[in-house]
Amino acid sequence: MEEKPKLLILYATQTGNAMDVAERIGREANRRGCPVSLLSIDQFDPGLLPNQRAVIFVVSTTGQGDTPDSLKVFWRHLLQRHLTRDWLGGVHHAVFGLGDSGYQKYNFVAKKLDKRLSDLGGTPIIERGLGDDQHPSGYEGSLDPWMSLLWSSLYQINPSLFPIGVDVVPDMKLLDQSKVSVRYHVKDGASLIYSTTPDLESRASQIERARLMSPARFPSDKSRPHCWLKMTRNCLLTRAGSGRDVRHLEFGFHSIEVEYEVGDVVEMLPSQNPDAVDAFIRRCNLDPESIITVQLRDSSNPDADVDADAASGLPVRLRTFVESTMDVASASPRRYFFEVMSYFATAEHEKERLEYFASAEGRDDLYQYNQKERRTVLEVLEDFPSVQMPFEWLIQLIPPLKTRAFSISSSPIAHPNEVHLTMSVVSWVTPFKRKRYGLCSKWLAGLDPQQGVFVPVWFQKGLLPAPSPSLPLILIGPGTGCAPFRGFVAERAVQSQYGPTAPILFFFGCRNKEDDFLYSDFWLFHSQDGGVLSEEKGGGFYVAFSRDQPRKVYVQHKMQEHGQRVWDLLSNGASVYIAGSSTKMPSDVMSTFEEIISKESGVPKEAAARWLRALEKAGRYHVEAWS
């Protein structure tokens, strides 16, 4: 019997948004009678791509035009030279990208993927869709009209995919099958096995078990912490009352030491407010002491009973699972969360409002209520008290609790057995004038080193490779962007005691000299008396105080003032390192480099831009930016 044709949907996500979009496309296809195969792109063999009839790609762009980790192997396969121009002949494809137009390389990954698929002979079903976080409705402002056109175009290409047609209105009254199953275990005899103890190894094991069971599919190296760090110092870097809270944090290794290099990143699993976790558990009528295992249902047979023995790992307490994997009090729920809530609302006015939020007509109002206001899962549930969602659906739909990444601001040779961080407490005011804080930064800022605080962490390679002592450096790091460069300078200062080192030119920026001149004593010490930042060593330290004079002065203005020194170092093989805000700063700095190169070398600006692109390709222009 010939198998029915399926629509293949592949997604590449870094934060979960692309997976959400892919799952929504899959649901909409199923509601139109179209069978779907939905996979993370790293679960699909790219060599099988020519065998497909129709493929939908949903891909996100991260950082400064970077490819999500899950897409890298697939992308390398597409770039192989032996692939011919008709390799994808007969394959119809559509690409939807997720990005932020505030970034210089907006939706860069979706654009280059769409072009490469066409270059290999693929036929676009429709023009690629580009979701924009800056849109008043977020990425869904582009997704809704794109999907509408997708179904009609797909039907024209392959009507057999839609046995009931695409003109029918999908029945939104039918609830999909939850993809998660929860098994509850008998507590008797389990209390000793699953008891919570102060032992860090036991806590690490509990975190690992919970995160391995989560449907968020954390990578295995994000399940078990690399190690635990003990906080030894927590001090304020900004002036009290200045309106900004930037902290210098120091940690010592506990039990094992992990090797790291300057430029590396440490990821921390934040601790959720215990009161918020308790409030969520009470609101959902859950037993925090239940012993559970969680697993995904068999997608090929979702109605089949789950084999309890197949559950990954050992059982954990329900409360442990919630606090280790489910972001209940800082992340906003997705649109599908409101749709599922509507099925479980028993109050008619709540059901109507939830159905409106889940509809295309209510999209903008939902965005204003939810994403713009940054409502948390707990707040949304409290706004709709008649809704009692099963725990399986809560696990599936609540955003996962993610690790937070920080650039390391120490050097392993200058600060042995220590890890230093430079952290700004994230805060903002919502449209309804509510003060909000970043979960991890607020938690870290409130920790007292005297209390013996241990934090689970993972070490990762960042986007700023450790430079050799002989490599000249041009560093640009306004605000907390200076964090990795504190480690760079500290390390080179130690290296200079044992042999010659190349010069460092560092441009730092802040608002006021008195309020937020981070690590001022450190920079000034190394810029004097023949230090590694001193002009007599061929380098220099230049700071832009943007608010200390009527005309705002930024790092790019200081770069222009010292354009000759910048060009001299570039001409002598210097590498450029940029760290800081991801909005305008990286693009403004690049434009400034183009102007300096054009002026000092006497070439047109177009030639200077090509020179910079060559510098990027040679691995001598690095950017680590964050929003």
pLDDT(219) > 70:
no
| Average pLDDT value for residue range 218-246 | 84
Give the Cα separation of 254 and 229 in Å (integer).
6
Q: At residue 352, what are phi and psi to the nearest 5 degrees?
A: -65, -40
pLDDT(55) > 60:
yes
What is the structure's pLDDT at 139?
83
7-161 with 473-626: one CATH topology? Answer: yes
What is the structure's pLDDT at 218?
64
Q: Which architecture characterizes domain 7-161 according to CATH?
A: 3-Layer(aba) Sandwich (3.40)
What is the structure's pLDDT at 144?
87
Average pLDDT in the chain? 89
pLDDT(163) > 80:
no
| Average pLDDT value for residue range 393-407 | 93
pLDDT grade, residue 201 (50/70/90)? confident
What is the structure's pLDDT at 134?
78
pLDDT grade, residue 381 (50/70/90)? very high
User: Which tokens is 84 given?
Assistant: 């011919």
Percent of the chain with pLDDT over 70: 92
Report which of 86, 147, 157 is spatially closest to residue 122, judged by C-alpha positions. 86
| Average pLDDT value for residue range 110-122 | 94
Q: Which range, of 49-53, 62-66, 236-240, 618-622, averages the lowest pLDDT? A: 62-66
pLDDT(199) > 80:
no
- Does the domain spanning 473-626 belong to CATH 3.40.50.80? yes
User: Which tokens is 621 given?
Assistant: 């222009």
pTM above 0.75, yes or no: yes
pLDDT(627) > 80:
no
- Say how many residues make up the chain: 627
What is the structure's pLDDT at 598?
96
Give the Cα separation of 163 and 33 in Å (integer).
6
Q: Which residues contact 460 (CB under 8 A, 6 or more apart)?
A: 264, 265, 266, 267, 405
Which range, 27-36, 363-372, 604-613, is most confident?
A: 604-613
| Average pLDDT value for residue range 267-285 | 95
| Average pLDDT value for residue range 157-168 | 78
Half-sphere exposure at residue 133, Cβ-oriented, CA atoms within 13 angstroms:
16
- Which residues define the annotated binding site for NADP(+)? 480, 546-547, 552-556, 588
What is the structure's pLDDT at 189?
45
Percent of the chain with pLDDT over 90: 67
pLDDT(171) > 70:
no
SS (H, E, C) 203-228: HHHHHHHHHHHCCCCCCHHHCCCCEE
Q: Which residues contact 413 (CB under 8 A, 6 or more apart)?
A: 491, 494, 495
pLDDT grade, residue 66 (50/70/90)? confident
- Which residues define the annotated binding site for FMN? 13-18, 60-63, 133
What is the structure's pLDDT at 137?
74
- Which residues define the annotated binding site for FAD? 374, 404-407, 438-441, 626
What is the structure's pLDDT at 13?
85
> Per residue in 582-601, pLDDT tens?
778 888 999 999 999 999 99
pLDDT(311) > 50:
no
Q: DSSP string spanning 125-136?
A: SSPPEEEETTST
pLDDT(64) > 90:
no
pLDDT(28) > 90:
no
pLDDT(197) > 50:
no
pLDDT(223) > 70:
no
pLDDT grade, residue 344 (50/70/90)? very high
DSSP 273: P
Higher pLDDT, 523 or 308: 523
> Based on C-alpha coordinates, what's the Rg of the chain?
26
User: Which tokens is 573 given?
Assistant: 């093989």
Long-range contacts made by residues 441-448, C-beta under 8 angstroms, separation at least 24?
A: 441/404, 443/270, 443/271, 444/234, 444/247, 444/249, 444/268, 444/270, 445/234, 445/245, 445/247, 447/231, 447/234, 448/234
Question: Which neighbouring-strand residues pair with 545?
Answer: 510
Higher pLDDT, 362 or 410: 410
C-alpha dihedral over 100, 106, 112, 117, to 10 degrees?
40
What is the structure's pLDDT at 503?
97
What is the structure's pLDDT at 302?
46
> Per residue in 439-462, pLDDT tens?
999 999 999 999 989 998 999 898
pLDDT(574) > 60:
yes
> Per residue in 456-472, pLDDT tens?
899 989 889 999 999 99
| Average pLDDT value for residue range 130-135 | 85
Q: At residue 106, what are phi and psi to the nearest 5 degrees?
A: -65, 125
C-alpha dihedral over 127, 131, 132, 136, to 10 degrees?
110
Domain ranges of the chain: 7-161, 193-397, 473-626
> Per residue in 408-427, pLDDT tens?
999 999 999 999 999 999 99
pLDDT grade, residue 612 (50/70/90)? very high
What is the structure's pLDDT at 105?
79
Contact of 38 with 26, CB cutoff 8 Å = yes
Higher pLDDT, 28 or 326: 326
Could you please state the CATH topology (level 3) that the domain comprising 193-397 is classified under: NADPH-cytochrome p450 Reductase; Chain A, domain 3 (1.20.990)
- Which residues define the annotated binding site? 13-18, 60-63, 133, 374, 404-407, 438-441, 480, 546-547, 552-556, 588, 626
